Amino acid sequence: MTDDPNRQTPYTGTAAAASAPPPVAPRPPAQGDRTKLAILLMCATSLIFAIQDGLSRVLAQSYPTELIVMFRYWAFALFVIALVSRQPGGLRRAIRTKRPLTQILRGIILVAEMLVIVEAFVRLGLVETHAVFASYPLLIAALSGPILREKVGWRRWAAIGIGFVGILVILDPGGGVLQPQAFLPFVAALMFALYGLLTRHVARDDPSMVSFFWTGTAGAVAITLVAIGQFQWLAPTDWIWMGILCLCGITSHYLLIRAYELAEASALQPFAYTQLVWVSIIGVMVFGEVLRPNVIVGVLIVVSASLFTLWRARVRAH
């Protein structure tokens, strides 16, 4: 799955340091070069996220969704622990949080979101799932008022309304084929928006490294409690796919962290939507999905509205 664009970077500084500092500090790259590199990393991350989603769909067609998510979270938790342990203060610092219940809730919500969206991949396909899921920035903007007491101006409310029109275009309620399962990606987007808002909420008291640690560990514990009773050995070939899936998850999160170190989230978010292109290619070429005209039109409306709300938020922040 895709990560929250409003979150802070999980830590500051590089993930790994040399055993001894260089005798002369390297000259930092120009800001323009840093931004270009960050954009490339974001595009690469979006491609890997799309591959992850395709692999998740393949495996979830043969095994319980909870089992697939549990294996993914075990690998993610190990990555989080290894990464955080190398930061100043290590695990002892990462465990200390001023909002433990909220941090645990964040982890549970993100696990639930992943369960819902993987199920949507199987039932609806990659293309239509991501087309609706792209609305999560609109939901973040809409819910930031009642949850975080942030002011949402009329321009952003207008963009939110237009974005939801785009969702209706994608779902095509007048086409006579709308099923309850069509709302799965919207439920996933709502969960992801809540996760993003809670991340901003805990950021008032906890550093990003702490939130990153609790996201991985609380989520891993939660999904293990739910899915351990469904544990089963995968077929030998499927273990290979699962290994690739977990490796993609670790790589994508590391690249995402590096991208957010080099540039602001607001500058990178437009390029995160390249994932829509990749999942469309994978959905059509690999799974034989059909890219319907109403989905294309709806996605353009939703993405345009989402980018406008992000731009307005940046304007107000400055």
- Looking at per-residue confidence, does 271 or 7 come out higher? 271
Q: What is the pLDDT of residues 36-67, one digit of tens each?
A: 898 999 999 999 999 999 999 999 999 999 99
Q: In the predicted model, what is the mean pLDDT of the chain? A: 84
Confidence category of residue 151, pLDDT binned at 50, 70, 90: confident
Q: Which of 35-39, 115-119, 243-247, 268-272 shows the lowest per-residue confidence on average (mean pLDDT)?
A: 268-272
Structural contact between residues 257 and 10, judged by C-beta atoms closer than 8 angstroms: yes
Amino acid at 102: T
- Looking at per-residue confidence, does 232 or 26 come out higher? 232
Q: Calculate the CA dihedral of residues 154, 275, 40, 3 and round it to 10 degrees.
A: 70
Structural contact between residues 261 and 9, judged by C-beta atoms closer than 8 angstroms: yes
Q: How far is CA 67 from CA 60, 74, 80, 122, 307, in A?
A: 9, 11, 20, 14, 35
The reported pLDDT for the residue numbered 178 is 59
Q: Which of 29-38, 48-57, 131-140 shows the lowest per-residue confidence on average (mean pLDDT)?
A: 29-38
Q: What is the pLDDT of residues 193-216, one digit of tens each?
A: 999 999 988 988 998 889 999 999
The reported pLDDT for the residue numbered 275 is 92
The reported pLDDT for the residue numbered 21 is 29
Axis-axis angle for helices 293-317, 136-148 (nearest 10) = 40
Structural contact between residues 46 and 278, judged by C-beta atoms closer than 8 angstroms: yes
Distance CA 222, CA 287 (A): 31
Q: How far is CA 192 from CA 39, 219, 222, 229, 305, in A?
A: 23, 14, 17, 26, 18
Q: What is the pLDDT of residues 65-87, one digit of tens each?
A: 999 999 999 999 999 999 999 88
61 DSSP 8-state letter: T
What burial class does residue 135 get, using C-beta atoms within 10 Å of its C-beta: 0-12 exposed, 13-18 middle, 19+ buried?
A: buried
The reported pLDDT for the residue numbered 248 is 94
Q: Phi first, then psi: what are they for 204, rounded to 5°? A: -70, -25
Distance CA 236, CA 247 (A): 17
What residue has token string 């690739």?
A: 244
Distance CA 117, CA 61 (A): 13
List, in sequence order, the alpha helices (H) in 61-99. Answer: 65-84, 90-95
9 DSSP 8-state letter: P
The reported pLDDT for the residue numbered 67 is 96
The reported pLDDT for the residue numbered 176 is 47
Amino acid at 39: I
The reported pLDDT for the residue numbered 68 is 96
| For the chain, percent of residues with pLDDT exceeding 70 | 87
Confirm whether pTM is higher than 0.85.
Answer: no
